[in-house]
Amino acid sequence: MKLIIGSRASRLAVIQSQLVMDAISGAHPDIEPELLTLKTTGDRILDRPLDKIGGKGLFVRELDAALREGRADLAVHSCKDLPADIPADLPLCAFTRREDPRDALVLPAGKDRLDGPIGCSSLRRRLQLEALFPGVPTIPVRGNVLTRLEELDNGEFGALVLAAAGLRRLGLEGRIHRYFTLQEMLPAAGQGILAVQCRRDMDTSFLDCVRDRDAELCARAERAFIRALDGGCSSPVAAHAVIEGESMKISGLFVDINNKISRGLLCGIPEQGESLGTLLAEKLKEEAA
């Protein structure tokens, strides 16, 4: 049976989709995964910030259409790049084991210290960087990971902040100068997790080979947090959940209209993670009011 997997066209997106495809074909020899790559609107428009042109939805529009039209059976996404609201007819049906969720600082090739502005793609990162590197300017940056690294090595920035998970999947872990702790820089919701999307009426039992229970519970809790705060592409919100034994701990970050950062943490039952994420968001909103 042939199974068409939709993916963005970047090298990282293809590698991530291949991870899912390999797991499926390894567990189900009768299934033949085939990759369909699409260049999304968000990948084509690189000269403007995402919040000015439509937000994270621009990274999934073409893939949503391919699913609805039957040109793709599944789509694989970096969970952190998904919009807060997912169409009811195209649910997220599987979440993979989480890679390293941290953000990382990358310096130009051959450099061993920060010298110049830091390129980063989100207000979430920029506001947290201000506390870590007072007086060091930040510059918005767009494009895929390899494009950003090329610009960095050409001298356009003094450093970049990138997701460690993407660098590791690309085999570029050696480019990492330092990892930020989760206390220094809280990551985007879902960072390090791959999400698989399908049509609502599809039997997805064959995806048990890629499903990770803890990753799903954490991803859904983190996404509930940003959804409760109307967190879009450039909204300065962040969340990270971890399951320890029978308990989930979720940390959240919220920035009010005056750029005041509020942080919070709640613990609860993992299976009630979405309620926990929503409760934490409401708590931070009340404190900021």
Per residue in 196-255, pLDDT tens? 999 999 999 999 999 999 999 999 999 999 999 976 545 689 999 999 999 999 999 998
- Second-level CATH architecture of 212-289: 2-Layer Sandwich (3.30)
Q: Which residue has the tokens 């991530």?
A: 16
The reported pLDDT for the residue numbered 258 is: 80
Sheet-wide strand order for 118-120: 138-140, 118-120, 159-163, 103-106, 176-179
* Whether residue 81 lies in the annotated active site: yes
Identical fold between 1-96+193-211 and 212-289? no
Does residue 40 carry a pLDDT above 90? no
Single out the residue of 213, 121, 205, 103 nearest to residue 163, CA to CA: 103
List the catalytic residue out of 43, 64, 73, 81.
Answer: 81
Burial class (CB in 10 A: 0-12, 13-18, 19+), 264: middle
Where are the domains positioned within the chain? 1-96+193-211, 103-179, 212-289
Does CATH number 3.20.20.80 belong to domain 1-96+193-211? no
pTM attached to this predicted model: 0.92
Per residue in 96-149, pLDDT tens? 999 999 999 999 999 999 999 999 988 899 999 999 999 999 999 988 999 999
Q: How many CB atoms lie within 10 A of CB 262?
A: 15
Render the chain in DSSP notation, one character per residue. -EEEEEEESSHHHHHHHHHHHHHHHHH-TT-EEEEEEE--HHHH--SS-HHHHTGGGGGTHHHHHHHHTTS-SEEEEEGGGS-SS--TTS-EEEEPPP----EEEEPPTT--S--SPEEES-HHHHHHHHHHSTT--EEE--S-HHHHHHHHHTTS-SEEEEEHHHHHHTT-GGGEEEEPPTTTSPPPTTTT-EEEEE-TT---GGGGGT--HHHHHHHHHHHHHHHHTT--SSS-EEEEEEEETTEEEEEEEEE-TT--EEEEEEEE-GGGHHHHHHHHHHHHHHHH-
Under CATH, what is the fold of the domain 103-179? Answer: D-Maltodextrin-Binding Protein; domain 2 (3.40.190)
